[in-house]
Protein backbone atom coordinates (compact mmCIF):
# COMPACT_ATOMS: atom_id res chain seq x y z
CA UNK A 1 0.00 0.00 0.00
CA UNK A 2 1.26 3.45 -0.92
CA UNK A 3 2.39 5.78 1.88
CA UNK A 4 0.01 8.71 2.12
CA UNK A 5 1.49 12.18 2.47
CA UNK A 6 0.19 15.59 3.51
CA UNK A 7 -0.25 16.56 -0.15
CA UNK A 8 -2.61 13.57 -0.54
CA UNK A 9 -4.95 14.48 2.31
CA UNK A 10 -4.73 18.28 2.54
CA UNK A 11 -7.26 20.81 1.36
CA UNK A 12 -5.37 22.98 -1.15
CA UNK A 13 -5.01 26.61 -0.08
CA UNK A 14 -7.15 27.71 -3.03
CA UNK A 15 -10.03 25.73 -1.53
CA UNK A 16 -9.34 26.39 2.17
CA UNK A 17 -10.71 29.62 3.66
CA UNK A 18 -8.00 32.15 4.31
CA UNK A 19 -7.94 35.86 5.04
CA UNK A 20 -5.56 38.75 5.38
CA UNK A 21 -4.77 40.47 8.70
CA UNK A 22 -6.68 43.58 7.62
CA UNK A 23 -10.04 41.78 7.75
CA UNK A 24 -12.18 42.93 10.66
CA UNK A 25 -13.66 40.67 13.29
CA UNK A 26 -17.14 41.46 11.91
CA UNK A 27 -16.05 40.46 8.39
CA UNK A 28 -14.53 37.23 9.72
CA UNK A 29 -17.79 36.39 11.49
CA UNK A 30 -19.63 36.75 8.17
CA UNK A 31 -17.08 34.48 6.50
CA UNK A 32 -17.66 31.78 9.08
CA UNK A 33 -21.44 32.01 8.82
CA UNK A 34 -22.29 32.74 5.19
CA UNK A 35 -21.52 29.25 3.89
CA UNK A 36 -19.28 30.48 1.09
CA UNK A 37 -16.27 28.92 2.79
CA UNK A 38 -17.75 25.48 3.40
CA UNK A 39 -15.33 22.79 2.31
CA UNK A 40 -16.47 19.81 0.29
CA UNK A 41 -15.35 16.68 2.12
CA UNK A 42 -16.59 13.83 -0.05
CA UNK A 43 -19.63 12.83 -2.07
CA UNK A 44 -20.88 16.42 -1.97
CA UNK A 45 -20.90 16.59 1.84
CA UNK A 46 -19.91 20.04 3.09
CA UNK A 47 -17.95 20.91 6.22
CA UNK A 48 -17.93 24.27 7.98
CA UNK A 49 -14.44 25.58 8.68
CA UNK A 50 -13.45 25.72 12.34
CA UNK A 51 -10.65 28.14 11.60
CA UNK A 52 -9.44 30.52 8.94
CA UNK A 53 -5.78 30.68 8.00
CA UNK A 54 -4.33 34.18 8.09
CA UNK A 55 -2.06 34.63 5.09
CA UNK A 56 0.23 37.50 4.14
CA UNK A 57 0.50 39.16 0.74
CA UNK A 58 3.23 36.74 -0.36
CA UNK A 59 1.36 33.60 0.78
CA UNK A 60 3.35 33.50 4.01
CA UNK A 61 1.57 32.03 7.01
CA UNK A 62 0.83 34.61 9.70
CA UNK A 63 -1.54 32.81 12.05
CA UNK A 64 -4.87 31.14 12.54
CA UNK A 65 -8.25 32.55 13.48
CA UNK A 66 -10.59 30.21 15.31
CA UNK A 67 -14.22 30.86 16.17
CA UNK A 68 -13.33 31.03 19.86
CA UNK A 69 -10.68 33.70 19.12
CA UNK A 70 -13.46 35.86 17.68
CA UNK A 71 -15.54 35.31 20.80
CA UNK A 72 -12.56 36.29 22.95
CA UNK A 73 -12.12 39.43 20.86
CA UNK A 74 -15.75 40.43 21.39
CA UNK A 75 -15.75 39.74 25.12
CA UNK A 76 -15.69 42.78 27.42
CA UNK A 77 -12.27 43.47 28.93
CA UNK A 78 -13.47 43.01 32.50
CA UNK A 79 -14.42 39.40 31.69
CA UNK A 80 -10.80 38.46 31.01
CA UNK A 81 -8.97 36.31 33.50
CA UNK A 82 -6.95 37.83 36.30
CA UNK A 83 -3.37 38.18 35.10
CA UNK A 84 -0.19 37.17 36.93
CA UNK A 85 0.42 40.82 37.85
CA UNK A 86 -2.75 40.80 39.97
CA UNK A 87 -2.18 37.51 41.79
CA UNK A 88 -0.94 39.27 44.92
CA UNK A 89 -4.23 41.09 45.51
CA UNK A 90 -5.83 40.45 48.88
CA UNK A 91 -9.27 39.84 47.39
CA UNK A 92 -9.54 38.26 44.02
CA UNK A 93 -13.02 38.67 42.57
CA UNK A 94 -14.13 36.51 39.67
CA UNK A 95 -16.32 38.19 37.09
CA UNK A 96 -19.96 37.15 36.76
CA UNK A 97 -21.17 37.08 33.14
CA UNK A 98 -24.76 37.21 34.40
CA UNK A 99 -24.17 40.85 35.36
CA UNK A 100 -23.99 41.66 31.65
CA UNK A 101 -27.75 41.21 31.52
CA UNK A 102 -28.18 44.33 33.65
CA UNK A 103 -26.30 46.52 31.20
CA UNK A 104 -26.91 44.81 27.85
CA UNK A 105 -27.47 48.09 26.01
CA UNK A 106 -24.27 49.54 27.46
CA UNK A 107 -22.25 46.48 26.44
CA UNK A 108 -23.59 46.20 22.89
CA UNK A 109 -21.99 49.45 21.64
CA UNK A 110 -18.49 48.54 22.83
CA UNK A 111 -18.93 45.03 21.36
CA UNK A 112 -19.71 46.58 17.97
CA UNK A 113 -16.57 48.70 18.33
CA UNK A 114 -14.48 45.60 19.09
CA UNK A 115 -16.01 43.86 16.04
CA UNK A 116 -14.71 46.69 13.85
CA UNK A 117 -11.10 45.96 14.86
CA UNK A 118 -8.78 43.98 12.61
CA UNK A 119 -8.42 40.27 13.33
CA UNK A 120 -4.74 40.94 13.99
CA UNK A 121 -5.81 41.66 17.57
CA UNK A 122 -7.12 38.11 18.13
CA UNK A 123 -5.30 35.70 15.79
CA UNK A 124 -3.24 32.90 17.23
CA UNK A 125 0.29 32.04 16.17
CA UNK A 126 0.83 28.80 14.31
CA UNK A 127 2.55 26.28 16.55
CA UNK A 128 2.76 23.33 14.18
CA UNK A 129 3.15 22.93 10.44
CA UNK A 130 3.92 20.02 8.15
CA UNK A 131 5.52 19.78 4.73
CA UNK A 132 3.75 18.39 1.67
CA UNK A 133 5.87 15.22 1.74
CA UNK A 134 5.36 14.46 5.46
CA UNK A 135 3.68 11.08 5.91
CA UNK A 136 0.31 10.40 7.52
CA UNK A 137 1.73 9.09 10.79
CA UNK A 138 3.80 12.25 11.27
CA UNK A 139 0.62 14.30 10.78
CA UNK A 140 -1.29 12.17 13.29
CA UNK A 141 1.53 12.53 15.81
CA UNK A 142 1.65 16.31 15.31
CA UNK A 143 -2.13 16.64 15.77
CA UNK A 144 -2.16 14.52 18.92
CA UNK A 145 0.98 16.01 20.51
CA UNK A 146 0.02 19.57 19.62
CA UNK A 147 -3.67 19.10 20.51
CA UNK A 148 -4.68 20.77 17.22
CA UNK A 149 -7.34 19.93 14.68
CA UNK A 150 -5.83 21.87 11.78
CA UNK A 151 -2.26 21.91 10.54
CA UNK A 152 -1.10 24.20 7.74
CA UNK A 153 0.97 22.58 5.01
CA UNK A 154 4.04 24.54 3.91
CA UNK A 155 6.35 24.13 0.97
CA UNK A 156 9.36 26.46 0.62
CA UNK A 157 7.90 28.72 3.31
CA UNK A 158 4.59 29.21 1.48
CA UNK A 159 1.22 27.83 2.53
CA UNK A 160 -0.01 25.24 0.06
CA UNK A 161 -2.89 23.76 2.04
CA UNK A 162 -4.25 22.60 5.37
CA UNK A 163 -4.80 19.17 6.88
CA UNK A 164 -7.83 18.78 9.13
CA UNK A 165 -8.64 15.96 11.53
CA UNK A 166 -11.62 14.99 9.38
CA UNK A 167 -9.27 14.51 6.41
CA UNK A 168 -6.91 12.36 8.49
CA UNK A 169 -9.76 10.26 9.91
CA UNK A 170 -11.16 9.61 6.44
CA UNK A 171 -7.74 8.44 5.30
CA UNK A 172 -7.28 6.25 8.39
CA UNK A 173 -10.74 4.78 7.76
CA UNK A 174 -9.67 3.74 4.25
CA UNK A 175 -6.44 2.23 5.54
CA UNK A 176 -7.96 0.08 8.28
CA UNK A 177 -10.79 -1.42 6.20
Give one word for 59, left, alpha or beta, with left for phi > 0 and alpha for psi -120 to 50: left
Give the pTM: 0.76
Q: How far is CA 154 from CA 60, 95, 173, 174, in A?
A: 9, 41, 25, 25
pLDDT value at residue 144: 96
Residue 28 has pLDDT above 80, yes or no: yes
pLDDT value at position 158? 87
Instruction: Specify the CATH number for the domain of residue 51.
Output: 3.10.580.10
| Residue 122 confidence (pLDDT) above 80 | yes
pLDDT for residue 4 is more than 60: yes
Tell whether the torsion through CA atoms of 126, 127, 132 and 137 is positive or negative.
negative
Query: What is the count of structural domains for the chain?
Result: 1
Please indicate, yes or no, if residue 22 is contained in any of the structural domains.
yes
Q: Residue 117's domain spans which residues?
A: 6-176
**C-alpha dihedral, 67 to 63 to 151 to 33, nearest 10°:** 30
Answer whether residue 125 shows pLDDT above 60: yes
Q: Cβ neighbours of residue 99 under 8 Å, at least 6 residues apart?
A: none
Which of 16, 25, 23, 170 lies closest to 111 in space, CA to CA? 25
List pLDDT tens digits, range 46-87.
667 789 999 888 878 899 999 999 999 998 765 555 454 555
Return d(Cα 17, Cα 58) in angstroms, integer: 16
For residue 1, being part of any structural domain is answered with: no
Which range among 15-19, 81-85, 116-120 shows the weakest confidence by mean pLDDT? 81-85
Q: Among 96, 163, 167, 103, which Cα is nearest to 133's?
A: 163
- Which pLDDT score, from 0 to 100, does residue 135 have? 95
Amino acid sequence: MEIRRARDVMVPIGEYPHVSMEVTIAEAIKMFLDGSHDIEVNAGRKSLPRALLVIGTHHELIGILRRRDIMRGLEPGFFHSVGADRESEIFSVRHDPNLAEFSFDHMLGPMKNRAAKAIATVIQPIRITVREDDHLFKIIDAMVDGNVSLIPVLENGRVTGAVRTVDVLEEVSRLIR
